Amino acid sequence: MVNALILIALGLGAAFLIGLLPSRWRGLAYAITLAALAAMAAIAGGWVWYFAMEGGQALEIHTAGTPPPFAVALHLGMAEAVLTLLVTVTSLLSAIYLKDTLHRLGRRAMAVLLILTMSLAGIILTRDLFNLYVFIELMVIATAGLVLLSASRFALGAGFKYLIISQLVSILMLIGLIFAYHATGTLNIDGMADAALITRQGGMLAFFLLFIAMLAELKPFPANGWALDLYESAHPAFSAILSSAIAGAAALYAVDKLLLIGGTEWLPVATAVGLTSFVAANLLALPQDKDRRLLGYSSIGQVGLILVVIGQQDILGDDYLFIAGGILLSHAVAKAGLFWLSGFIPEQGLSAWSVLRQRPLLLFGFVTFIAMLTGLPPFPGFYAKWELMGALADADRIGVMILLLFAALVEAAYLFRWFGYVIKREPNEGIAQPRPPLRKCLVVHSATAIGWGLAWVWGELSVHANLLHALPLLFALGFLLIEGLPAWLKNSVAIAGLLAWFWLSYPGYDPMQLIFGAVILVGGALILLASYHAHGKRIGFYPSAMLMYAGLAMLIVAETSFQFFAAWELLTIGSYFLILRGKHSEPHALSYLVFSLGGAFLILAGFSLAAQGADIFLVSALSELSEPLAPWIFALLAIGFMTKTAAIGLHIWLPGAHAEAETDVSPMVSGILLKAGVFGLITLALTMGKQQLFGIELTHVMLWIGALSALIGNLLAAFQEDAKRLLAYSSIGQMGYALFGIAMMNHLGLLMALMFVINHYIYKSMLFLSVGGIAKRTGTRDMYRMGGLITLMPLSFIAVLIGIIAVSGVPPLSGFGGRWITYNAIIDIETRLPLVILFLAGPIAFLYLFRLIHTIFLGQLKDEHRKLKEAPFWILLPQMIFVVCLMIFALVPGLALRHVDNYINQFYPGGGLDWAGLTITSQYGYWAPIPIMVVVGAIFATLFLWLVFVNRKAQKVKQFNIVFAAERPHRPETTHFAWNFFAPYRKALGFLTEPYVTRFWETISEALHSGADLTRRIYTGNGQTYAIHLLAFVVAVYLLGVGL
């Protein structure tokens, strides 16, 4: 264990030593700088090792051989060690990054960097208020100096604004300090806490001044215009230090220390200030289009979030450091990484970052950082978020929860919107591809590596399982390592992986899990067959797809709420990446992500409330919850799950996301991914059952939502011109049926939902593949541009034909089984009104289904399509397998359903089906799939043979040989009746399809954006205005904390 003073002395000494060197010896000066920083980092690392691995106890370090109050004391514990390590490593990496800049500016700049690092370590370590003041002033001076490292000509102005604010801060601090000393006779923080400063005369005011001065260093809203300017104009490597070391580590820890004096009564003030900053900064970042300023806003927000954690330490108990550390380190690493990355980007616009696409490793870093900031698994922020929400829910601090989740959602929205730009947009004309030196890249890569390392550490520290030990997730991440291999090879690995995991898990599944497991894993493998069609390496596809499958596979076996939520987030993020791959899917993928994360946050809130402070909460324990909390939890979870099933109101992401996705991705995200929501809803219904909120039965509300989804989904599908959008809307309708089934809360309702799970998987995957294959060949998805393709693409036609018969529920195919079970289920239902809507929705399916097959395959063939070939083999193959599956499932539905029917008995005893013999019998009716098939087949065959017999000489005629009012049609375009196919229907019921929901969400988004755009104009750029903001902030906090 090296003495803490040595660390400080090292920084100081090296700085002085550099000062003595001749200014020509820049190389040596730089070497000394690096060596000193490395040594400081090594010392801090040694401390962390000592505390973490050797179980060391925290130390008080006295200087001048005397305990306080007569001399300065330092404190060194786990927190200090980690933060010092963070500060020194950040400085070291930035120094490496800054090599050429430092060389240009010479030894003085290096010395200032050393001083800065030393002063930050000092701020973290010291327990003496005046000492703290000195270090802060050192930090200020060093900061004001290092701002000028930047090449930006605006840095000067920003630096000066910073100095103005610093002057104000030091005035506040000094006055507070002297009065605090006067009241207690000590400058030692612990001493002041013991002397109960705030109870003494004038002590409260003194503390307030100290506290507000330190808060101001955190750049709280609205007193933070100067900080934004600094972030925007400073050298990115310095902004990295500013964000992660100065604000993220040192200033926050100083506030934390001061709160030792303030005690618990000042914690709410910290919370309020933090919350305001977190919410406001993230909102104001929404309309921001400059990268570094955006990062600045995000930094302010993240620091605000950590301040909230600090403010909540009274309820966090032992988890305090785990949570605060998780968020803080995530923020620090990610933000430093992003700022370093921003140095590679030739322009400040967000779209300019698309140059990163050429550098996969840097892009991977970018994703890692964004995931860390948004608290996605498996990064520390995720564990921290989980624990934090649990604690807040346990302490009934619902308001804090809501605001945190809201702001976190906003943050995720703009960060992922940015990610979308990076993946999808093209940089402006003339932007040169950046060629950052290897050294700088290594700095970013090391941040990425540290991020993943922290993910592992936090997983180990967590009371829950380490996500990085989960085999499916590792499998998915493993694809990152083999990205260089050709796609077909990776595809084989992926298929093998899915099947192997199914094989391994199969014995452990109960019948319900088996259905979902089969759809997800076997079904996923089946769809992946179509991916053999892709050529090249398909970078990014397999990690994303496998991440989604990993999430899904983990979801269905999740036992605790944590596992469930982690799996949910994983599948969400994986599917987002997948959807984003589509050519025009950037806005749709974003909308998907925002809705999904919004839903995920509701689930998080629900589970947190449900756990009531328990570390481990079993999903099955949902059934033990009671009033008044239970209905709220039910509602939160249900809405969360319904974002995934795209229930009406939450559906606007689906059409675009599914339609714009790649050919083999659409079936995955439609046929498989939607089932995650169904699984969640089933779990919820089986555990929590019926809940009443304000006297309203929540399952009845779900019935309505399900029925309306079915109706509106079907209706909208009927009016689409785009084949994939049509299928996408149809999914909304189909999931509405499934939701309805679950909400019926009876045996057959559940069975019906499961039937829809299987059916929808098969036929929607099949249809999406067919349509995708056709779109590939024709080059369009607009159905009216197609027509008459039946003879050119007979196999695709067969797939679509079988598909639509199945979807429509016409016997003898399996869709009918779904309808039959539906009718049997609804007889027991209590609420009959939603049924009317469900009945109306049913026949509308015929409208869109007929349109789908007619306008693509029938009617008039277009001239430009005359030479089209059948869809590619690999896209057809799974379709043909689906046709077979559909037939088998139509003939022997019992194969899949009888076990689960039996299994459902334990939840809803009785009311099941009798599967004996060929006939499936319910309490009310019966259904014999095989005889139906035989009878229909026999009649059909007989009549067909009869027709062939009487009509054997039929002559095939050419396309235009039709009875056309004695005219001959000349163009297929004018003869193919396809566009606005159901015009009369639109006249009658079109008012139902007005995009009210879309408008609603757009209005909200628009209001947030324009509100933010208006508000951010308070940052006028004038240093004096910023000073007034600060004073106003001081007054406001005073009124809040001390009262009038």
Partner 1 sequence: MTPSSFEWIQIPYALLTLFIVVNFGMLLTALMQKIGARVGRRHGIPIWQNYADLIKNYALRTSITHGVMFYLGPVFRLSGGVGLLLFVPTIYGSVMFANFSFAGDLILALYFVFFGTLGMALGAGESGHPYSAIGITRGLSQVTAAELPFALAVFAIALQYQTLSITEIVAAQQGGVSNWTLFTNPLAVTAAMLGFLGSMMRPPFDVVLAPQEIPIGPPTEYHSSYLALMQTNRAIFPIAKIVVYMNLFFGGAASWPVFFFKVFCIYMVSVFVGVVFPRFRVEQSIRWFLVWAVPIGVAAILLV
Partner 2 sequence: MMAEVAMATGFMLVLIGLYGALTNRNILRIIVSFTLATTGVNLVMVAVGYMHGRTAPILDEAVPAAEAVARIIDPLPQALVLTAIVIGLGVTTLMLAYAYKLHESKGSLDITKFTELKW
Using CB under 8 A as the binding rule, the residues of this chain from 176 to 195 that contact partner 2 are 177-179, 181-182, 187
Among 74, 112, 140, 622, binds partner 2 (CB under 8 A): 140
Among 11, 225, 365, 427, the residue binding partner 2 under the rule CB under 8 A is: 225
Both tokens of 765, joined, read 């995957």
Kindly indicate which of the ranges 107-115, 285-293, 651-659, 838-846 contains the residues binding partner 1, using the contact rule CB under 8 A: 838-846
Secondary structure of 802-814 as H, E, C letters: HHHHHHHCCCCCH
**Within 13 A of 820's CA, how many CA atoms are on the CB side?**
23
Q: Where are the alpha helices (DSSP H) in 312-437?
A: 313-316, 320-342, 360-373, 380-394, 398-424
Distance CA 387, CA 459 (A): 13
- Residue 1001 binds which entry of partner 2, partner 1, none, CB below 5-8 Å type-dependent: none
Using CB under 8 A as the binding rule, whether residue 53 contacts partner 1 is answered as no
Determine the Cα–Cα distance for residues 732 and 694; give it in Å rounded to an integer: 28
Residue selected from 777, 976, 1016, 1029 as contacting partner 1 according to rule CB under 8 A: 976
Query: How many whole angstroms from its chain centre is CA 413?
Result: 9
Q: Cα separation of 186 and 845, whole Å?
A: 80
Sign of CA dihedral 642, 646, 652, 658: positive
Q: 983 or 1032, CB closer to partner 1?
A: 983
Closest to partner 2 by CB, 219 or 293: 293
Find how far residue 240's CA is from the centre of its chain: 24
Q: Does residue 880 bind partner 2 (CB under 8 A)?
A: no
Over the window 982 to 1021, marking each residue x when it contacts partner 1 by CB under 8 A and - when it does not, the resulting string is xxxx-xxx--------------------------------
Q: Considering only residues 770-799, where is the footprint of partner 1 by CB under 8 A?
A: 788, 790-791
The site partner of 168 among partner 2, partner 1, none (C-beta below 5 to 8 Å per kind) is: partner 2
Q: Which of 64, 954, 966, 1044 binds partner 1 (CB under 8 A)?
A: 954
- Which residue from 873, 964, 996, 1000 is in contact with partner 1, where contact means CB under 8 A? 964
Q: Which of 37, 228, 525, 792 binds partner 2 (CB under 8 A)?
A: 228
Q: Which of 939, 587, 981, 653 minimizes the C-alpha distance to 787?
A: 981
Among 873, 960, 979, 1000, interactor with partner 1 by CB under 8 A: 960
Q: How far is the CB of 342 from partner 2 (least distance, A)?
A: 16
Per-residue CA distances from 1020 to 162, 298, 728, 1009, 1015 (Å):
14, 19, 46, 18, 11
SS3 of residue 300 by DSSP: helix
A 10 A CB-CB count for 392 gives 24
Tokens of 106: 């010479």
Nearer to partner 1, 977 or 996 (CB): 977
Of these, 3, 66, 167, 492, which contacts partner 2 (CB under 8 A)?
167
CB closer to partner 1, 700 vs 976: 976
The residues near 1034 (Cβ < 8 Å, ≥ 6 apart) are 172, 212, 216
From partner 2, partner 1, none, interface partner of 16 (C-beta below 5 to 8 A by class): none
Structure tokens at 423: 């993946």
- Residues near partner 1 (CB under 8 A), total: 79
Site for partner 2 in 271-290 (CB under 8 A): 288
Closest approach of Cβ 373 to partner 1, in Å?
49
- Output the smallest distance, CB 1023 to partner 2, in A: 5
1028 binds, among partner 2, partner 1, none (CB under 5 to 8 A by kind): partner 2
DSSP 263-294: -GGGHHHHHHHHHHHHHHHHHHHTT--BHHHH
Q: Which does 164 bind (CB under 5 to 8 A by kind): partner 1, partner 2, none?
A: partner 2
CA 519 – CA 56 distance, rounded (Å):
51
Of 267 and 840, nearer to partner 1 (C-beta) is 840
Q: Which does 160 bind (CB under 5 to 8 A by kind): partner 2, partner 1, none?
A: partner 2
Q: Report the Cα–Cα distance between both ends of the chain, in Å, rounded.
A: 49
Q: Is 77 left (phi over 0), alpha (psi -120 to 50) or beta?
A: beta
692 pairs with which residues across the strands?
A: 697
Q: Calculate helix-pair angle for 252-262, 267-285, nearest 10 degrees.
A: 150
Residue 589 touches partner 2, criterion: CB under 8 A: no
- Please pick, from the candidates 18, 109, 115, 158, the single residue that binds partner 2 as defined by CB under 8 A: 158
| 126 beta partners | 74
| Cis previous bond, 378, omega within 30 | yes
Q: Does 201 bind partner 2 (CB under 8 A)?
A: no
* Sole binder of partner 1 in the list 31, 504, 614, 836 (CB under 8 A): 836
Q: Are strands 920-921 and 696-697 parallel, antiparallel or unpaired?
A: unpaired
User: According to the binding rule CB under 8 A, does residue 977 interact with partner 1?
Assistant: yes
Distance between CA atoms of 853 and 808, rounded to whole angstroms? 13
- In the complex, minimum distance from the CB of residue 647 to partner 1, in angstroms, rounded to a whole number: 22
Of 52, 59, 175, 932, the one binding partner 2 by CB under 8 A: 175
Give 488 or 823: the residue with its C-beta nearer to partner 1: 823
Question: Is residue 982 a contact partner of residue 992, using CB atoms and an 8 Å limit?
Answer: no
The verdict on 581 binding partner 1 (CB under 8 A) reads no
The C-alpha angle with vertex 116 and arms to 111 and 119, in degrees rounded to 5, equals: 125
Q: Which does 150 bind (CB under 5 to 8 A by kind): partner 2, partner 1, none?
A: none
* CA–CA dist 573, 548 (Å, integer): 7
- Single out the residue of 165, 158, 156 nearest to residue 136, CA to CA: 165
Q: Which two tokens stand for residue 861?
A: 């063939």
Q: Which is nearer to partner 2, 71 or 477 (by Cβ)?
A: 71
For partner 2, give the closer residue by CB, 144 or 465: 144
Q: Is 696 helix (H, G, I), strand (E, B) or coil?
A: strand
User: Of 126-134, 306-314, 544-552, 826-834, which segment contacts partner 2 by CB under 8 A?
Assistant: 126-134
SS3 590: helix
| Dist. CA 762–CA 730, nearest whole Å | 14
Residue 440 identity: K
The rounded distance, in Å, linking the Cα atoms of 825 and 434 is: 63
The closest alpha carbon to 253, from 314, 308, 307, belongs to 307
Q: Write each residue from 1004 to 1043 as x if it is in contact with partner 2 (CB under 8 A), else as -, in one continuous string.
A: ------------xx-xxxxxx--xx--x------------
Q: Which does 137 bind (CB under 5 to 8 A by kind): partner 2, partner 1, none?
A: partner 2
Of the pair 187, 423, the CB lying nearest partner 2 is at: 187
- Which of the stretches 39-47, 109-117, 170-178, 1000-1008 binds partner 2 when contact is defined by CB under 8 A? 170-178
* Partner whose footprint covers residue 859, from partner 2, partner 1, none (CB < 5 to 8 Å by kind): partner 1
C-alpha to C-alpha distance for 679 and 554, rounded to whole angstroms: 12
CA–CA distance, 829 with 590 (Å, rounded to integer): 38
The reply on whether position 801 binds partner 1 by CB under 8 A is yes
**Which of residues 533, 588, 819, 865 is near partner 1 by CB under 8 A?**
819
Rounded to the nearest 10°, the torsion over CA 766, 768, 770, 774 is 180
Single residue of 185, 453, 486, 843 touching partner 1 by CB under 8 A: 843
Q: 930 to 949, contacts with partner 1 by CB under 8 A?
A: 931-932, 935-936, 939-940, 943-944, 947
Residue 979 engages partner 1 in binding (rule: CB under 8 A): no
* Shortest CB 174 distance to partner 2, Å: 5
Contact status: 918 vs partner 2 (CB under 8 A): no
Interaction site with partner 2 (CB under 8 A)? 130, 133-134, 137, 140-141, 144-145, 153-154, 156-161, 163-164, 166-168, 170-171, 174-175, 177-179, 181-182, 187, 225, 228-229, 232-233, 288, 293, 1016-1017, 1019-1024, 1027-1028, 1031
